[in-house]
Amino acid sequence: MKADTKREIERKYEAEPGARLPDLARVRGVSADRDQGVAELDAVYYDTEDLRLAAASLTLRRRTGGKDAGWHLKLPVAPGVRDELSAPLQDDVPAPLADLVRARTRGAPLVPLVRLRSRRRVRHLLDGDGTLLAEASTDTVRAERLTGGTSTTAEWTEIEVELGDGQDPAFLDTVDKRLRKKGLTPSAAPSKLARALQDTGWQPPKPPREDDTAGGRVLAHLRRQVDHLITYDAAVRRDLPDSVHRMRVATRRLRSAFRTYKKVLDPAATRPLADELKWLAGELGVDRDHEVLAERLTAGVDALPVTLLLGPVRARLRAWDAAGRTGARERTLAALDSDRYTALLDALDALLADPPLRPAARKPAATVLTRAILKDHDRLAARVDRALALPPGHDRDVALHEARKAAKRARYAAETAVPALGKPAKRFGKRVKAVQKVLGEHQDGVVARDTLRGLAVQAHLAGESAFTWGLLYGKEEAAAAERERELPGVWAEADPGALRGR
């Protein structure tokens, strides 16, 4: 069973008991404001006993009544914007939805938390063609806390305006002006569940206080990356574009921080985590690396005149791509479902809860972080110099790849330090990113050539022409040489500059 997905864009407003929705027929763009009657909705919200989903602004419910009865999981995208994934009614939490919150629940059972019974009066705002611009509703809500809480029930009335499918979000701004003129104010709670929890005594966890010590800045960075890691878990499971790449970047930033800030965090404690993050990045990399390579090879084929496509070039490339994607996706999901991955997430939480800080953690962030950046820059300089001193060939390719990894580490160090060091760190990060880009394009070309050679061999053994694959190989070789010529100039711009004077 696969969950259906809908992008939900809405605004919520406070309302007095017995309030009625103002007339919206005069809102610009609205030709009709039609009453759709009343619906009786009954929803039970599920979470872990310690409210892990609620703490992350996720909601999971089983709802009956209305036009969309079923299970719904809502994932925050931006303020007022959520992705709603739905599954048919059944007694237990549907597996596709449970999988999407696995990185947060980690084996803890999902139990009934709150029951919301709502009486909803619905109106449709239509344009001149009868297209739905938005659905506006007045909800009278009664909440019952099923577990925990200092009180058991709460009641309130709210007005909700949800954008119609495919409509311009700016329309909600127009409706908002009308509602504010009528005295309505935006709801302080982002969802009905959040309102129910607050009114029955739940206090959301407060974010840790950040300070200007080296330890405070580094830990704040680590918390953000762990949050990204867990958030992108659901996106990877949904197979959203660029999600694997973003999740992999979070693992790299964590590993890089552990290595760069060894004076702040005890490496004896972080080294095992870095090893596990390397494993996870490797599992994710199978999917991401194949995706990048497939896009590169496809673009190369598309750029050739049809007269140079000799043999079933596109068919062979599609077959290679399909075989690689299937295996990579299965491997990625197996890693995310593994006990090893769950243990890694638990270990990261434990490290943040009780960080192994060293004496330098208590020093000013500007001093400690600057030294770390300069050390990473010097490491990068040594690798670039070594690579440029080698003749073109395999050894230089390997050395340039090692320099690329050092460039990423220096860039991440600079980006981590921006809150403490400001423009000098931001400027250096951008310059090193340019170096990383050149080195990355070079490495992509190295990988592409290896694959093209393999495809050429397959074509030859199948009795096909290998001409096109050889032509593409030559183009990649020329592009790599061009990147090598660019590198000295880009590298010369990547001096730490003002950071050395701190």
Overall average pLDDT of the 446-462 stretch: 95
Count other C-beta atoms under 10 Å from residue 50's C-beta: 11
Instruction: For 213-288+312-363, give the CATH class.
Output: mainly alpha
pLDDT at 2: 59
Rounded CA gap, 17 and 194, in Å? 19
Q: What percent of the chain has pLDDT over 90?
A: 81
pLDDT at 76: 93
Instruction: For 4-199, give the CATH class.
Output: mainly beta
Q: Residue 149's pLDDT band (boundaries 50, 70, 90)? A: low
Q: Residue 313's pLDDT band (boundaries 50, 70, 90)? A: very high
Asked if residues 400 and 387 have their Cβ atoms less than 8 Å apart, the reply is yes
Q: Residue 4's pLDDT band (boundaries 50, 70, 90)? A: confident
Asked if residues 45 and 125 have their Cβ atoms less than 8 Å apart, the reply is no
pLDDT by residue (tens digit) across 211-247?
889 999 999 999 999 999 999 999 999 999 889 889 9
Rounded CA gap, 221 and 489, in Å? 31
Distance of CA 135 to the CA centre of its chain: 29
Contacts of 318 (CB under 8 A, 6+ apart): none
Tokens 């939490």 locate to: 93
- Domain assignments of the chain as residue spans, ordered by start: 4-199, 213-288+312-363, 364-493
458 by Cβ neighbours in 10 Å (0-12 / 13-18 / 19+) ranks as middle
Q: State the pTM of this model.
A: 0.87
Count other C-beta atoms under 10 Å from residue 334's C-beta: 11
In the three-class reduction of DSSP (H, G, I as helix; E, B as strand; rest coil), residue 7 is classed as: strand
pLDDT at 207: 77
- 16 versus 499: which is more confidently predicted? 16
Average pLDDT of the residues of the chain: 92
Rounded CA gap, 376 and 435, in Å? 14
pLDDT at 45: 96
pLDDT at 1: 45
Overall average pLDDT of the 463-477 stretch: 95
Overall average pLDDT of the 85-107 stretch: 95
pLDDT at 211: 84
DSSP code for 29: T
Question: Cα(first)–Cα(last) distance of the chain, in Å?
Answer: 58
Q: Is the pLDDT of residue 502 over 60?
A: no
Q: Is the pLDDT of residue 68 over 70?
A: yes
Which amino acid, residue 365?
Answer: A
The angle, 0 to 180 degrees and rounded to 10, between the axes of the packed helices 267-302 and 423-461 is 60
Residue among 220, 235, 222 at smallest CA distance from 284: 235
Distance of CA 408 to the CA centre of its chain: 19
Contacts of 32 (CB under 8 A, 6+ apart): 25, 124, 125, 126, 130
Q: Is the pLDDT of residue 359 over 60?
A: yes
pLDDT at 88: 93
Rounded CA gap, 433 and 494, in Å? 9
Q: Is the pLDDT of residue 137 over 60?
A: yes
